[in-house]
Amino acid sequence: MDRIRNRLESARRNIASKKSKEGWILEKQNVTFADENGWSNRDTDVTPLEHRTWTSWTILGYWMSDGLSAQSWAGASAIIAVGLTWREALYCLILGMITITIPLCLNGAAGASLHVPFPVVARSSFGFLFSRFPVIIRMVTALFWHAIQTYSGSTAMTQVIRAIWPSFLDIPNHLPSSAGITTQQMISHFVFFSVQFPFLLIHPHKLRWFFVFKAVIVITCAVGTVIGMTRLASGAGDIWNQEPTVSGSAKAWLIVSSMSSMTGGWATMGTNVADFTRYMKHERGVYWQVFFVPLLMTSLGVFGIIGTSCAKVVYGEYVWDPLALASHWDGPGGRAAAFFVGVSWCVAQIGTNLSANVISCSNDLTSLFPKYINIRRGAIIVTFTASWIMVPWKIISSAESLLNFMGALGVFLAPIAALLACDYWVVKKRNIDVPALYRKTARYSYGNAGGTNWRAAVALLVGVVPLLPGLAAAVNPSIEIGGGSYLYDMFYLYGFTSTFIVHAGLNWMFPSQDTLIQHSIYEDVEVIDGTERVNIGVSHPDDAKRYMKESAIEGDAI
């Protein structure tokens, strides 16, 4: 009883302290690279040794978690819907996924080697203060996609509930039309949010078993759906005989556009993959993504094509969405299958939100407000903002131009990914001063009060500005941009390649000598009370004791 009483009293004092701004201040770490007058917290600092638990198998599980979603299922089928054949859809999917593995591996290696998150890595290439620009772009993207993915999970929850209580679909609507959502949909959304929320509070280094669980259940669901549909259709349908509805140059540019869309769909991960690879034990697992990503996405794309083809035979129409497919299943057996599919895609959407949106956005908030926000607080802010304040059901039901705008944010993300990769591999040759990444006036301020690397700014403009007309047309299709649409059709290839080349060229012609070092620096040497201490930036007290090296020195040495 005393233990419970003490916990309740501690909780009461904690709640009472939150009534003032000072009560929200996080504990300042004793071992950190941050400026004396600055602030850092454990989630922004170098990843502690006990948190570096990820292996190559974890990366496989991570991509199974991130990639196995309802959107990935429908991706290749959607390409067929615009007029291409299944072969061309697979070509676009495979080439698009191979393309995105380039920034995934290049930028993932930085996180695995330096063990710092994306917002901190960005300071090397953009400059200490200018790095906030890519962080904010990534944060806004994550908020919108988290809202969209959460509401998509709600549709999966609808299948779970109606499989148990079929009358759930008959619940009368008591909400006004201006709400943009029905009573039944609101219940599904609330239930899914309540199920998802606890998972979003788990620290990233503890998620590897969740990734494995999601991989098993979603793959089983996908295979089961394909087998069940082929049995109902007595085969794989006739989509394999479908001819393209476009030809000539229109077909060629449609292929380029579709491939770029496949790449752009994962542009966010190509940018901030360091948020996850920072937890790796060894760097080599990063490079397995070259095989994992195309294989997983292609397999799920093929499943989607087969399921869509069978739906035409069974239901008389192509059904691209696996949840829309499950909505056709009635009767005891059909509802049992719909329940399993609904649960599987609920898990899939939770995993995708975790790996692609919430953790990344939380890292962004942590880097912008390290005094008040850590990853857990960031996750709470992000999920309540995206799930409720942004009213995701209105985002889904609003003009298609808004969703086009979200996809078009790849216009910014491709150049950002290129800058990160070029700076780490070509300009700095992988030699980074890790302590300086945490200090406002150190070498990565690039010698100016604005903390900006002008070379990165120029390269970013070259990669972004020519694509802005296409971005405008994506938001408002009535805008005529002429030949600019062709450049926009390959926005990821252009944005990444042009920015990479320009940034490398500017740094070759106008190098910033202060930021170029011969070997990476991972530690600081400090002198405290006549004792030399080696600070490796690990914020956990146990790690500090384990890795601080002490040696007596004389006089004023060092």
pLDDT in tens, 453-479: 999 999 999 999 999 888 787 767 778
| Backbone Cα Rg of the chain | 25
Structure tokens belonging to residue 346: 């609920």
Determine the average pLDDT of the residues in 63-92: 78
C-alpha distances (whole Å) from 314 to each of 131, 197, 232, 324 are: 53, 37, 7, 13
Residue 307 has pLDDT above 70, yes or no: yes
Q: Which amino acid does the sequence have at 522?
A: Y
Determine the average pLDDT of the residues in 396-406: 54
Determine the average pLDDT of the residues in 22-46: 72
What percent of the chain clears pLDDT 90, i.e. is strictly above it? 32
- Distance between CA atoms of residues 176 and 161, nearest Å: 23
Least confident of 185-194, 235-244, 355-364, 437-446: 235-244
- Distance between CA atoms of residues 247 and 298, nearest Å: 25
| Highest mean pLDDT, choosing among 13-22, 178-187, 375-384, 506-515 | 506-515
C-alpha distances (whole Å) from 327 to each of 151, 162, 342, 373, 452 are: 17, 9, 10, 41, 53
Q: Are 439 and 38 in contact (CB under 8 A)?
A: yes
Determine the average pLDDT of the residues in 399-424: 77
Q: Are 153 and 345 in contact (CB under 8 A)?
A: yes
Using a 10 angstrom Cβ sphere, with 0-12 exposed, 13-18 middle and 19 or more buried, the burial of residue 547 is middle
Residue 63 has pLDDT above 60, yes or no: yes
- Distance between CA atoms of residues 155 and 185, nearest Å: 8
Residue 11 — very low, low, confident or very high, per pLDDT cuts 50/70/90?
Answer: low
Residue 144 has pLDDT above 90, yes or no: no
Q: Is 116 left (phi over 0), alpha (psi -120 to 50) or beta?
A: beta
- Distance between CA atoms of residues 434 and 493, nearest Å: 31
Say what the pLDDT of residue 271 is: 92
Determine the average pLDDT of the residues in 203-214: 77
- Distance between CA atoms of residues 71 and 323, nearest Å: 11
The pTM for the full model equals 0.85
Please, which residues bridge with residue 384 across strands? none
Question: Chain-wide mean pLDDT for the chain?
Answer: 83
Residue 29 — very low, low, confident or very high, per pLDDT cuts 50/70/90?
Answer: low
- The vertex-385 CA angle with 72 and 404, nearest 5°, equals 40
Residue 544 has pLDDT above 50, yes or no: no
Residue 419 — very low, low, confident or very high, per pLDDT cuts 50/70/90?
Answer: very high
Q: Are 114 and 45 in contact (CB under 8 A)?
A: no
Determine the average pLDDT of the residues in 279-306: 88
Residue 552 has pLDDT above 80, yes or no: no
Least confident of 94-103, 124-133, 402-411: 402-411
